[in-house]
Structure 1
């Protein structure tokens, strides 16, 4: 590749990064204006919608993000319902990336299983107020990238991932696009999950659904659009705090 092409690629990456950061700043202001009551009401709508949503009902092994106390859908009720329903519930766990390459994030995300509601209630908040897995217990837990162990992590794959985000929209081709917090944890996790499925001779059929406050969905061009790069994973759908379910135009599932 020529030096000119390299310079063009770097300029494109810088432009994409700047566009994403601009949208994050805009959304931070918008979401910061929402009251606790509005967020809890929308969270209740999302959790009630999920209870009869077929991909969730049929999923046996799911991942659910654990919420910050502000600015996003609160998932406490969802986690409790999933555990009470007999689903295997996995939650994010961040750790040092065992693969050290300049092109990969320094930290990676695994999903580790909650044992039951009591186990969930024992989690302590981190510096952002998010309930978090105690690193001292990780080796005792079933997890997606744990490797061969007594918990059968080497065979573990997820059916459904319920994902957070900063902003979402529908792209020109009908895809559901997501803007994350900029660390690449979910995109990298999904790529590794697909690789693991392939190594086990299985189709990478994991379903990816975002959960979002209505204010996080950019419904018109005047609100802007979600900038995406080649590593950004499109979603199978999005459940909003007003009860709407957004699906890709070419693959209606709701």
Structure 2
């Protein structure tokens, strides 16, 4: 319970940080982080990637990453949240083109999202050859590669499912505004996944050595 309260308080604090950020600052950091991300060998060598689609505020934009990946001929998968058994589940489904990306409708958080009518026949990463890399969102990160999500557990649950499906996990890269990378340790519990690398909007790149 103490961990949950600590996470709740940190999320509240981070929302205050995001409210103080200008859109121009986020755009500038997005350009820097994107350029760094696109230079990573793990990205350049990846054949299939999953990418979060960014909210209008409070996180780095992934638009240029999606565009580059599609132009490079990579298989691109994006989150789709649905309720197959009355419990919300996140799958990673194929994005076919930049034109399709442009046509996506925003959900209640302003995130471009697939609609239920667009799902039949669409490739799921579990039906293909899996993922080489996942671009992870989050509200905050620390230098121990811990991540504070938005509290729904979508990515942690997805990664647990993926680990049961395949012994080889994708390379997990978080995109972080420099205001999101904290000096303090983020409270985590056993089922919270750590990430492999963090690309920061001020140009820094942190990678976890295993």
Q: TM-score higher than 0.5 here?
A: yes
Of 172, 176, 192, 1:212 maps to 176
Q: Which segments of structure 1 move beyond 4 Å, counting only runs of 4 or more?
A: none
| Aligned equivalent of 1:73 | 60
- Please tell me whether residue 56 in structure 1 is matched to residue 46 in structure 2: no
Q: CA–CA distance in 1 between the matches of 2:91 and 2:198?
A: 22
Aligned residues: 210
Greater RCO structure (CA 8 Å; 6+ sep): 2
Of 100, 105, 115, 1:134 maps to 115
Of 247, 251, 254, 2:207 maps to 247
| Residues 74-129 of structure 1: CA deviation (Å, up to 9, x unaligned) | 1111111111111100000001144x7xxxxx211000001111111111111111
Q: CA–CA distance in 2 between the matches of 1:170 and 1:47?
A: 20
1:13-24 pair list within 5 angstroms: 14-24=1-11
Q: CA–CA distance in 2 between the matches of 1:236 and 1:112?
A: 22
| Residues 133-162 of structure 1: CA deviation (Å, up to 9, x unaligned) | 0111112210124xxxxxxx2x43111000
| Residues 14-38 of structure 1: CA deviation (Å, up to 9, x unaligned) | 1110000011011111121000000
| Residues 23-74 of structure 1: CA deviation (Å, up to 9, x unaligned) | 1011111121000000000001111111211111111100000011000001
Q: CA–CA distance in 2 between the matches of 1:22 and 1:225?
A: 14
Q: CA–CA distance in 2 between the matches of 1:156 and 1:108?
A: 20
Checking the alignment, whether the CA contact within 8 Å between 1:42 and 1:213 is kept in structure 2 is yes
RMSD, aligned CA: 1.2
| Aligned equivalent of 1:122 | 103
Of 75, 81, 96, 1:88 maps to 75
Structure 2, unpaired ranges of 5+: none
Which secondary structure does the structure 2 equivalent of 1:68 belong to?
coil
Checking the alignment, whether the CA contact within 8 Å between 2:162 and 2:169 is kept in structure 1 is no
Q: Normalising by structure 1, what TM-score? A: 0.80
Q: CA–CA distance in 2 between the matches of 1:134 and 1:109?
A: 14
Which secondary structure does the structure 2 equivalent of 1:89 belong to?
strand
Q: CA–CA distance in 2 between the matches of 1:61 and 1:179?
A: 25
Which secondary structure does the structure 1 equivalent of 2:18 belong to?
helix
Q: Normalising by structure 2, what TM-score? A: 0.96
Structure 1, unpaired ranges of 5+: 1-13, 101-105, 146-152, 198-202
**Deviation, structure 1 residue 170:** 2.0
* Greater alpha carbon shift after TM alignment, 183-192 vs 45-54: 45-54
Q: CA–CA distance in 1 between the matches of 2:149 and 2:106?
A: 21
